[in-house]
């Protein structure tokens, strides 16, 4: 099939240009597939045939694209129709920009990492062009960079924690006597070292999820109760900052006018990931909301999704910054935010965590008018929740039985009594400074928890 001669033209160079374009499509290493508006394949180039393990163009032309392009998330998780960006782009006629996932090759168990895009022609009324490329080499190079950053961050945490430990001792009146001028210098140094520690911890978190060393541990959860429990941890901090903090569900009802019952919605989440997400979103809201302002956390069901929003009355985000805030190391630069500390990684980590659970995150804001951050996660029906809870309980019972059935180690023979010691041995003296340094270094191994 000659893709580029479907429309007649009177221009003398049209035929030549069409032939050259078709030659180029056959020569490139990227897979290219064109479908009609219903998803039926009209054209496929040799690279796409190879990557999808298809024998020839005649075998696939006229069939639906979904028969040869089956995607998983980059973590290897099956994507439902609603969270599959390729299916949504093909149905809605909206463009898709470079989604990274795994292509299930043919009927084999082989997975090929790809970046896939969709370019619609005239939205719903026209054809769609699907392009995808093998990103195996890119991922290997990124893995090497990630490993370097991870190693450097890990090695830097210990000396930074040691520095901060000694500064803390110097600021303690019980261990050191310093004048107020020196105290001011050391207080600034302590804040800077804590900032460095937070940066290194964030870098470690980013690299671990980037190279799939951290995978979500998904479990069924009732979201209103869970998010409310986590949100209660911020009440004291908000009170200290003199900021109004409240939690609620939009679908709350008051039966008989006596008490309120929150909506019950279920999802399949990693509780630790969700806590990090809320730590970053609510933490940012507390930082960027002035005294007397308000923060509101809300959870509700939205069709087949669970929608969490964190709304504040803070400084807001400009339209130019709004499209970049989830990028790595990006921070809005204006007179209202320049003096507020941060690593530029919190929202990037948030986006990572949300997407690892099959969700989406976005923000709505206007500069000077506050912000609302939304987290959308797949929703479970009550029946699905109960079925998954049964699986969880069975797994817990199996683990308990396995532990109970483990053989008890045989009794060890009683050792003979030790000979009496007439003169107690003298332990070598340990310099107080060395003991303190070891304590600080040991404490540093616990890491700096992300805010």
Among 8-12, 79-83, 113-117, the minimum mean pLDDT is found in 8-12
Q: Find out if CATH 3.40.50.2300 is the number for domain 219-383.
A: no
Q: What is the pLDDT of residues 157-179, one digit of tens each?
A: 788 888 888 888 888 888 888 88
Q: Which residues contact 441 (CB under 8 A, 6 or more apart)?
A: 158, 161, 162
Quote the pLDDT of residue 445. Answer: 46
Decide: residue 119, CB within 10 A, 0-12 exposed, 13-18 middle, 19+ buried: middle
SS3 of 289, please? coil
In whole angstroms, give the CA distance from residue 128 to residue 69.
Answer: 14
pLDDT band at 31 (very low <50, low <70, confident <90, very high): very high
Q: Which fold has domain 3-134?
A: Beta-Lactamase (3.30.450)
pTM beyond cutoff 0.75: no
Quickly tell me which residue has 């499209």 as its tokens. 323
Quote the pLDDT of residue 322. Answer: 86
User: What is the per-residue DSSP string for 172-240?
Assistant: -TTT----HHHHHHHHHHHHHHHHHHHHHHHHHHHHHHHTTSS----EEEEHHHHHHHHHGGGHHHHHH
Neighbours of 332 (CB within 10 A): 21
Q: Rounded mean pLDDT of the chain? A: 79
Can you give the residue ranges of every domain in the chain?
3-134, 139-210, 219-383
pLDDT band at 333 (very low <50, low <70, confident <90, very high): low
Q: What is the CA radius of gyration of the chain?
A: 29
Q: What is the pLDDT of residues 339-397, one digit of tens each?
A: 565 667 889 889 988 988 889 999 999 888 899 999 999 999 999 999 999 988 888 88
* Contact predicate 397/323, CB 8 Å: no
Q: What is the pLDDT of residues 242-281, one digit of tens each?
A: 999 998 754 443 444 444 556 789 999 999 899 989 999 9
Q: What is the pLDDT of residues 286-296, one digit of tens each?
A: 988 999 999 99
Quote the pLDDT of residue 281. Answer: 93
Among 271-280, 399-408, 427-436, the minimum mean pLDDT is found in 427-436
């Amino acid at each position: 099939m000659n893709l580029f001669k479907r429309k007649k033209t009177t221009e003398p160079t049209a035929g030549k240009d069409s032939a050259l374009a078709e030659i180029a499509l056959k020569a490139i290493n990227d897979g290219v597939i064109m479908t009609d508006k219903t998803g039926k394949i009209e054209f496929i180039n040799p690279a796409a045939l190879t990557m999808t393990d298809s024998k020839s163009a005649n075998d696939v032309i006229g069939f639906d694209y979904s028969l040869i392009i089956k995607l998983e998330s980059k973590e290897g998780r099956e994507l439902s129709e609603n969270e599959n960006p390729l299916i949504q782009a093909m149905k809605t006629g909206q463009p898709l920009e470079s989604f990274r996932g795994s292509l299930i090759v043919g009927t084999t168990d082989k997975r090929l990492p790809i970046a896939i895009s969709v370019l619609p022609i005239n939205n719903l009324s026209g054809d769609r062009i699907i392009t995808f490329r093998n990103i195996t080499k890119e991922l290997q190079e990124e893995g090497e960079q990630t490993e370097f950053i991870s190693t450097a961050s890990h090695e830097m945490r210990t000396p930074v924690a040691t520095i901060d430990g000694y500064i803390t001792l110097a600021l303690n009146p019980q261990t050191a006597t310093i004048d107020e001028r020196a105290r001011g210098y050391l207080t600034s140094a302590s804040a800077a070292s804590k900032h460095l520690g937070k940066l290194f911890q964030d870098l470690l978190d980013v690299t671990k999820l980037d190279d799939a060393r951290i995978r979500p541990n998904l479990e069924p959860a009732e979201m209103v109760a869970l998010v409310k429990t986590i949100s209660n941890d911020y009440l004291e901090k908000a009170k200290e900052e003199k900021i109004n903090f409240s939690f609620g569900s939009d679908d709350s009802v008051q039966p008989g006018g006596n008490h309120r019952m929150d909506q019950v919605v279920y999802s399949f989440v990693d509780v630790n990931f969700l806590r990090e997400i809320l730590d970053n979103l609510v933490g940012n809201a507390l930082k960027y909301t002035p005294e007397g302002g308000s923060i509101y956390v809300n959870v509700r069901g939205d069709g087949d999704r669970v929608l969490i929003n964190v709304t504040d009355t803070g400084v807001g985000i400009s339209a130019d910054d709004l499209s970049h805030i989830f990028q790595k190391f990006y921070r809005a630069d204006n007179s209202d935010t320049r003096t507020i500390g941060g690593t530029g990684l919190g929202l990037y980590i948030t986006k990572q965590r949300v997407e690892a659970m099959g969700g989406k995150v976005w923000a709505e804001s206007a500069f000077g008018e506050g912000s609302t951050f939304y987290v959308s996660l797949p929703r479970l029906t009550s029946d699905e929740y109960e079925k998954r809870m049964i699986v969880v309980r069975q797994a817990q019972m199996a683990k308990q039985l396995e532990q109970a059935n483990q053989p008890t180690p045989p009794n060890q023979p009683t050792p003979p009594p030790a000979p009496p010691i007439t003169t107690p041995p003298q332990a070598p003296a340990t310099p107080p400074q060395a003991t303190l340094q070891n304590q600080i270094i040991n404490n540093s191994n616990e890491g700096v928890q992300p805010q």
